[in-house]
Structure 1
Amino acid sequence: MAKEEPIMDGPKRLQNELKEMMGHTVLTQFRCLEVEPDNIYKWYALLLPVSPPYDKGAFKLEIDFPMQYPFKPPRLHLNTKIYHPNVNDRGQVCLPILEIEHWKPTTRIEHVLQVLLATINDPQTENAYRVDVANEFRNDPKRFYKMAEAYVLRFSEHRPTDAELAKMAKKKKKAAQ
């Protein structure tokens, strides 16, 4: 029976965190949160970074929670192509906080997202998935920013305005009633 407790706690913890995130206005760079129908373990959202060159686009984020959450970390995946040292070509994000040896069950998804956004806005070359891009960021920042901006312009999602975000939130609230 004790082995099933983490699985039993998972949905309750996720429900609480989801409820908090749905009403959250502090993480303004994390918007349009949705949960896959009938699957609380899969969330989708839009990242709106604030630092150049990423501030010109929006990036689709997928969050997969394991059945053992919060005892095992979630997996983050950017579904929008991005030129970034901490994100590989498949959209996997390198964040030490999500590594098994660093993960703490008390870590909440809000904190994970804050770390993710801080990393997207300010690349961490010491934790690079793409060493070549990290080296470019350190040694030839002008070239790095030119390439990153080209990726943003070519691959990023439409960055919604505040008015569009308010309209989407209003529509979503109306649909939930």
Structure 2
Amino acid sequence: MANIAAARIQREFKEVVKSEEVERCKIKVALKNDMYNELEGTIAGPPDTPYAGGTFKLEIKIPETYPFNPPKVKFTTRIWHPNISSVTGAICLDILKDQWAAAMTLRTVLLSLQALLAAAEPDDPQDAVVAKQYKDCPEIFIKTARHWTNIYAGGPHRELDLENKITQVMGMGFDEGKARVALSSHNWDMERATENLLS
């Protein structure tokens, strides 16, 4: 890792670890190795969102060209959100692409990602299926996002009606993960989800 990038990320890492604001927002960062080029971030789902009570892990890779280029960040905890891929965890956020500025820091990135969970941008989606549900069926979106938060991020809210549908689809011989994705993607319509799994 280039010296400028290593020195800068070490300083920023300490800033995040010591920041009261970051601690108050329940954001953490940890080293994956001693090189400071791979970090693991953790952000808490913001209150009054379907992600509340969940803990989401992030993979953060620092390029050699940092801080002139943004870190590469993705969710390793599965999440149902218009701007985050429900399959790969890839994130659509302008500051991680063309709106990055060298003055931005790791703290900015982590706080921005937490803010994204509270204010989705469905018109610039990473996951078109989730964005469509967010816009067309907001109540179903909230239940689905809460369900995924409970299952994958340790969230407190169980959606028993949704869990029952997953159990029914599993009874047809499909595994739980595939059943959840098919039902989530088809607004929990059993018939459409099953057709999708059989096609």
The CA deviation at 1:81 is: 0.6
SS at match of 2:14: helix
Matches within 5 A, 1:1-150: 7-27=2-22, 28-50=24-46, 51-88=48-85, 89-99=87-97, 101-150=98-147
The more displaced of 12-21 and 23-32 is 23-32
| Per-residue Cα deviation, 1:107-147 (whole angstroms, up to 9, x for no partner) | 11211222111111221112210122112111210010111
Number of residue pairs aligned between Structure 1 and Structure 2: 153
The CA deviation at 1:79 is: 0.8
Which letter maps to 2:149? V
Q: Given the superposition, is the C-alpha separation of residues 32 and 118 from structure 1 closer, same or farther in structure 2, using an over 3 Å criterion?
A: closer
Which letter maps to 1:119? L
**Is the Cα contact below 8 Å between 1:29 and 1:49 reproduced in 2?**
no
The more displaced of 74-83 and 122-131 is 122-131
The CA deviation at 1:11 is: 0.8
Q: Name which one, 1 or 2, has greater alpha-carbon Rg.
A: 2
Q: Given the superposition, is the C-alpha separation of residues 158 and 36 from structure 1 closer, same or farther in structure 2, using an over 3 Å criterion?
A: farther
SS at match of 1:83: coil
Q: Given the superposition, is the C-alpha separation of residues 157 and 44 from structure 1 closer, same or farther in structure 2, using an over 3 Å criterion?
A: farther
Question: What residue ranges of structure 2 are gaps of 5+ in the alignment?
Answer: 157-199
**Is the Cα contact below 8 Å between 1:87 and 1:129 reproduced in 2?**
yes
Using the size of structure 2 for normalisation, the TM-score is: 0.71
Q: 2: distance between equivalents of 1:75 and 1:47?
A: 16
The CA deviation at 1:158 is: 6.7
**Is the Cα contact below 8 Å between 1:30 and 1:45 reproduced in 2?**
no
Q: Percent identity at matched positions?
A: 27
Q: Given the superposition, is the C-alpha separation of residues 49 and 29 from structure 1 closer, same or farther in structure 2, using an over 3 Å criterion?
A: farther
The CA deviation at 1:150 is: 1.1
Q: 2: distance between equivalents of 1:30 and 1:93?
A: 20
Q: 2: distance between equivalents of 1:38 and 1:158?
A: 31
- Structure 1 vs Structure 2 CA RMSD: 1.8
Question: What residue ranges of structure 1 are gaps of 5+ in the alignment?
Answer: 1-5, 160-177
| Per-residue Cα deviation, 1:57-84 (whole angstroms, up to 9, x for no partner) | 1111121110110011101111111011
Q: 1: distance between equivalents of 2:95 and 2:45?
A: 19
Q: 2: distance between equivalents of 1:31 and 1:152?
A: 17
Greater relative CO (CA pairs within 8 A, separation 6+)? 1
The more displaced of 103-112 and 26-35 is 26-35
